[in-house]
């Protein structure tokens, strides 16, 4: 299937294009870029891929799928344009500025009969897939408490303004992971830490507590301005616990210049020294890494478009994440628990 990318910043260049190229059944058919320096990067990376000045031009050339990975404040209109053209759409995260806008986009896609998905690609991280395997195997019994932490020493990528902030950026991924693993949420409590930017106050770190309908409680945190890089998953359950401290192996490989298409079979595995540990009455056991595989997201989405299967992350699932993030923002502002 022919796919186009709209936007070629950090997201388009590092987290979409390399994995589209590694996905079976997809052809990168065009990239929308406008700034001269961005066009130059596209031509250097993909000299044989056409560059278009607008989504309108890309759609006119003919594609089956488009990925919208432009800045968040531009995304709604572009998603609606692709839907109106009858083309399947992958919207980068955050899917929308709020749940209400997410519902608007979902309704437009349903009315047109278009497949709409959201790029919560971190369901395809090695560490979260390894944890899911541990849960599916029932090795530590009924889960109680989940800690999901990702701190980044990456101040240059903090998006400012009313539609920016870390809560909607990294929070989209970490909340989605918790919902994917443990199901719907019935209450949200959050605290955020803010900085002043010319565009306005912007949250730069957060801690969220979720109580799931299943009884599991999740504790989610992230920061970007504290000069700290750390990734940890910690699960407590009735028969033991599981802890991992991963290296964000796919992102690190991409930024080191590696590409999954060069060796898909060995891509995305955490090094043994970073494997998680399962603690139970029989002792401590290292758990081998699952394969981190963002390209699998694209393969599953292409299958959804061609065969009518469910996309890997549906708009409905992404709206549930936005509902939690909306509640987290309100909780932080009012310093109270928000019931869902």
Domain tally, the chain: 2
Q: pLDDT confidence of 160, banded at 50, 70, 90? A: confident
Let me know if residue 316 belongs to a domain.
no
* Order of all β-strands in the sheet with 65-68: 51-52, 27-32, 2-6, 65-68, 88-92, 116-119
pLDDT in tens, 57-84: 999 999 999 999 999 889 999 999 999 9
Let me know if residue 66 belongs to a domain.
yes
- Same domain (yes/no): 136, 200: yes
Let me know if residue 317 belongs to a domain.
no
DSSP calls for 162-180: TT-SHHHHHHHHHHHHHHH
Whether residue 159 is predicted with pLDDT greater than 90 in this model: the reply is no
Read off the pTM: 0.97
Q: Report how far residue 215's alpha carbon sits from residue 167's, in angstroms, rounded to the nearest whole number.
A: 24
Q: Which CATH number do you get for residue 147?
A: 3.30.360.10
- Same domain (yes/no): 148, 266: yes
- Same domain (yes/no): 334, 203: yes
The lowest-confidence range among 109-113, 152-156, 327-331 is 152-156
- Same domain (yes/no): 335, 272: yes
- Same domain (yes/no): 64, 155: no
């Amino acid at each position: 299937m022919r796919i186009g990318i709209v936007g070629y910043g950090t997201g388009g260049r590092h987290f979409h294009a390399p994995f589209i190229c590694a996905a079976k059944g997809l052809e990168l058919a065009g990239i929308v870029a406008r700034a001269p320096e961005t066009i130059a990067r596209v031509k250097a990376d993909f000299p044989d891929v056409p560059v278009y000045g607008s989504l309108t031009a890309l759609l006119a050339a003919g594609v089956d799928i488009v990925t919208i990975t432009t800045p968040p404040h531009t995304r709604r209109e572009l998603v609606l344009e692709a839907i109106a053209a009858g083309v399947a759409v992958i919207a980068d995260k955050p899917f929308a500025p709020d749940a209400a806008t997410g519902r608007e986009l979902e309704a437009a896609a349903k009315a047109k009969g278009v497949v709409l998905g959201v790029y919560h690609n971190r369901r395809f991280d090695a560490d979260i897939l390894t944890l899911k395997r541990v849960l599916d195997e029932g090795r530590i019994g009924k889960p109680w408490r989940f800690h999901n932490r990702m701190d980044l020493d990456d101040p240059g990528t903090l998006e400012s303004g009313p539609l920016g902030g870390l809560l909607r950026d990294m929070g989209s991924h970490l909340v989605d992971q918790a919902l994917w693993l443990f199901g719907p949420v019935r209450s949200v409590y959050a605290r955020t830490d803010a900085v002043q930017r010319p565009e306005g106050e912007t949250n730069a770190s957060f801690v969220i507590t979720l109580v799931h309908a299943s009884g599991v409680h999740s504790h989610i945190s992230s920061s970007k301005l504290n000069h700290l890089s750390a990734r940890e998953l910690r699960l407590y359950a009735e028969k033991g616990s599981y802890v991992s401290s991963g290296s964000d192996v796919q992102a690190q490989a991409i930024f080191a210049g590696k590409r999954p298409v060069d060796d898909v079979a060995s891509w995305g595995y955490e090094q043994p020294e970073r494997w998680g540990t399962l603690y139970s009455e029989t002792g401590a056991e290292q758990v081998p890494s699952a394969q981190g595989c963002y390209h699998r997201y694209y393969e599953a989405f292409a299958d959804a478009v061609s065969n009518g299967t469910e996309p890997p992350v549906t708009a409905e699932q992404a709206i549930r994440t936005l509902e939690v993030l909306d509640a987290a923002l309100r909780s932080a502002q009012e310093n109270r628990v928000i019931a869902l």
